[in-house]
Each structure stands twice: as structure tokens, then as C-alpha cells.
Amino acid sequence: MSPEAPTRGTHRTTLPNTVELSDTYDAERMRAELALFCARPGNAFSAASGRRVLPLRSVAGDPYRTDCGGPSLVGFQDTRWLRQLPYFREILDGLPAPVRAARLWAAGPGGKDVTLRAAKMGPPWGLCRVHIAVAGGPRARVIFFDELHHYPPGTLWFAAAWREYAVVNQDTSELVHLIVDLAHTAEFGALFPDPLQEILAGPGTLRLRPAAPLPDPESRCRTFQVPESFANWERPGHLLHADSHRTRTRPGRHPMLVPAEIWLREGTPVLSLAGRPYCALEHLGDGEFRLRGWSDERTLRVSRRPDIPVLLTLNDGGMTYQIELPADAASSGSAK
């Protein structure tokens, strides 16, 4: 495993904690549709005794999975709840970026602070979180450290979700937000105020690249070894750099490696780690793949030639790290 080479500078600290974006929505229509949804048997969505989360999009469309998700075999899909909420579907479809996870989040009156945070959920890693306020009085607040913000119903707000923040409802009415996790795109960046658009167009931001056709997919099947940290996509920091640094400073030690394999399932490349399917891969061109359900934050480049090492790339807040991983052998390319 060759030493990695970091490139570029970082601009992760220049983005504000939260900022209002240019789109707005019909708050009365959202509330009316949600009230109709809650009136149907089995669709109760009340936060009177605390808080409630209703997933509208999730990994595999799981109607009970409320997390922001990550790499997977199937990617993000609509849940059955979204089929009953046409205006909310229209809102999600109208966002100028692929929607990953989306959920309605409610907090009852006088509720306690609820702390939120999602590692790497920001443009420096090719992701973005927004809140769309559906309901909430003036004492419903979003708090970043000592900054207090009120999101008026119908407005769209960026939230720097990789920093810890809290939502607190000290009003007498229920607070409801639509929280959406997106892949960051140039089109979505155009919704930001002009001064921030220049930052988002700079080298410290990752923008989602389109998938590309994959000719001769069998030629990309490989077996090799990857640092164990490659699968730990939530943990912040230069994980690959830490592994190689330990190897250089302690000659008798090596980073923890796990066996990896790229194989085909119904024509789709799949990455297995330690003998288990980990996630599907999306081709970006020239043999480079990102993890399905994730951003370009970490990719694998696989040559058609089996003697050329697999190139692992990690982008972390404007810094790029690369490691070459020698392939053991070309696999048969057959489905498993």
C-alpha cells in the first residue's frame, strides 16, 4: 500500500451555521395536507408528548427508518407515507439536487431541546441538509451554540448539520419541520445568497458528478484489501491519512486491512468487505466509482488492467487523500 498524497486546501469553516435560501413554500397547504394525512386510520403523527419523526424517503424506502442513511445496496427510495402526501412529494421533486433522506420532524409544545448532528452532512463532503418550516410559533428555535434562529413557516433554510445544533419548541403550538438531506449540486448552490455562492463554487466544496455508462463491467471485478476505516464513512477526520501515518512511524505495524471484492449483481458492480456485500457502486467515468447512497467523498478507481493498483480517494473538507491498493487477482465477474 503506497503512502497517500494530500492535495488542496480547506474552506469548511467559512460556511455559516444556517442561512435562509431563496425558495419558499405554501405553509397552509403543507399543514392542511398533513392534517388530512393524520386523520386517516393508522397515520397518527402527533408530538404532543415529546417528538415524532415520519420518514418520507429512507434507505430502501423503509417506513420506520429515521436516520440520514449512507452507503447501501439499494440506495434511497420513497416510503409509503410519501405516496399519501402529494404536495410534500412535489416539494422534494422540485429541489435542484437528488434527495437522499427526508423526514417530517415534530416537537410538541414546551418540549425539551433535541440535539441534532450528522457527520459530514455539508457541502465540503458533497452533501447538504435543509429545513423547510411547516409549522411553529416565534418561540420555536433552532440553536447553534449561542445563535438562536426562528424559521418562519414556508421558508427554506440551510443547516450546517456537521456542527452540533438543537431544536427547541418553547411555543404553545406544535413545531413541524421537513428535514431533507441532499446531494450537493451546483444548481442547489444557486439558492444561496450571492456571497456564499462564490464559496460554494470554490475548491473546498464537492459537487455531485453524474453517473456514467460502464462499458465492459466484468473487467472492473477485482479482489484486494482496503483499510478498515474505508467503511467508517461517518467518522470525521483523515482516516486514511491516520492509517498510513501509523504505518510510516511504526515500521512493525500496519493499518487494519479487510479483504474487499468488486463483483457484479445483475450487471451492477457491488463492493463486498470481509465477505459480505457492503454497497453497490456507481460509475463516474474512467473506472472511478462512488458508493451508492453516498457522495464523492470517497471513491475507488479500477483500471481494466488487473496489474494496476486500485486507487482509493478520500475528500475531506477540501483536502484529498489517495492510496494505491494492489489487486490480488481479477475475479470471474459472475453474479453472486
**Residues 122-177: pLDDT tens digits?**
999 999 999 999 999 999 999 998 899 999 999 999 999 999 999 999 998 889 99
**Residues 4-18: pLDDT tens digits?**
444 444 445 589 999
Q: Which residue in 158, 144, 161 sits closest to 189, CA to CA?
A: 158
Could you give the C-alpha distances from 157 to 42, 70, 149, 253, 332, in angstroms and in order?
31, 22, 10, 47, 49
Would you state the pLDDT for residue 58? 96
Is residue 42 within 8 A of residue 265, CB to CB? The reply is: no
Side-chain-facing half-sphere of 260: CA atoms under 13 Å: 27
| pTM (two decimals) | 0.88
**Residues 47-103: pLDDT tens digits?**
555 678 999 999 999 999 999 999 999 999 999 999 999 999 999 999 999 999 999
**Residues 265-322: pLDDT tens digits?**
999 999 999 999 999 999 999 999 999 999 999 999 999 999 999 999 998 877 888 9
Q: How many CB atoms lie within 10 A of CB 167?
A: 23
